[in-house]
Amino acid sequence: MDIFELIRTRRSIRKFTDKPVPDNIIETTIEAGTWAPSGKNNQPWKFAVIKDRELKAEVSGLTHYSKIVLSANALIAVFLDNSASYDRTKDSQAIGACIQNMLLYIHSSGLGAVWLGEILKNKDKILTLVNGPEDYELMAVIAIGYPAEEKGEGHRNTPAKSIFFNQ
C-alpha cells in the first residue's frame, strides 16, 4: 500500500478479537513512534505497555470507553516526560506525531487501534497504576488488537474546504 492509501484507510478500531498482539509488533510500534520528529530532537515521549488482564480492568474503570479498553489486547499509554520538555506546545505536537506514527504502523501490520483521549481526565490515576515518575504526564492511551469490526471509508472535509489561503 502506498503511503497515501495507508494514511487514508486508517480508521479508529474499537472492537478487537481475542488474538494476542505479538510482542515484536508492540515493540516496533513504539519504535515507529520514536521516529517522529520532535523539537530539538528532545524525544519527550515515554511509554507504558499494559497487557495484564487485571491491570486492563483497572484502566477500564477510569474511562467512559471501558468496553474498548477491555476488548483491546494491549494498551500503550503515551506520556510526556516533563523533565525533557522545553516548550509545552511543541512537545505536545511531537507526541501527536509520535502517536500518529504508531497508529499508521499498527494499521500497516493488519492490526487496529484507537487513540483514547477521554481517559486523560484520570491521568494521575493511570500514572499511579503503571508506577510512573511524577514528571510523566499521560497524553493518550492507544488501544490495540486485531480488528473485530469493518470500518467504512470515513469522512473528511475536502482540501478545498480546509484551505483558507492559497496565493
Question: What is the number of other CB atoms lying within 10 angstroms of the CB of residue 129?
Answer: 16
Question: In the set 29, 32, 62, 65, which binds ligand FMN (CB under 6 A)?
Answer: 65
The CA distances from residue 39 to 29, 30, 31, 34, 58, in Å, are 21, 19, 18, 13, 34
Question: In the set 23, 27, 118, 149, which binds ligand FMN (CB under 6 A)?
Answer: 118
CB of 65 to ligand FMN, least distance (A): 5
Contacting range for ligand FMN; rule: CB under 6 A; set: 77-85, 113-121, 124-132, 159-167:
113-121
The answer to whether residue 117 forms part of the interface with ligand FMN (CB under 6 A) is: yes
Task: Say how far apart CA 56 and CA 30 lie, in whole Å.
Answer: 19
Contacting range for ligand FMN; rule: CB under 6 A; set: 46-54, 87-95, 109-117, 124-132:
109-117
Task: Say how far apart CA 106 and CA 6 lie, in whole Å.
Answer: 10
CA angle 4, 151, 36 (to 5 degrees): 40
Closest to 41 in 3D by CA, of 105, 82, 91, 102: 91
Contacting range for ligand FMN; rule: CB under 6 A; set: 28-36, 52-60, 73-81, 115-123:
115-123
Q: Which residues bind ligand FMN (CB under 6 A)?
A: 11-12, 14, 65, 114-118, 154
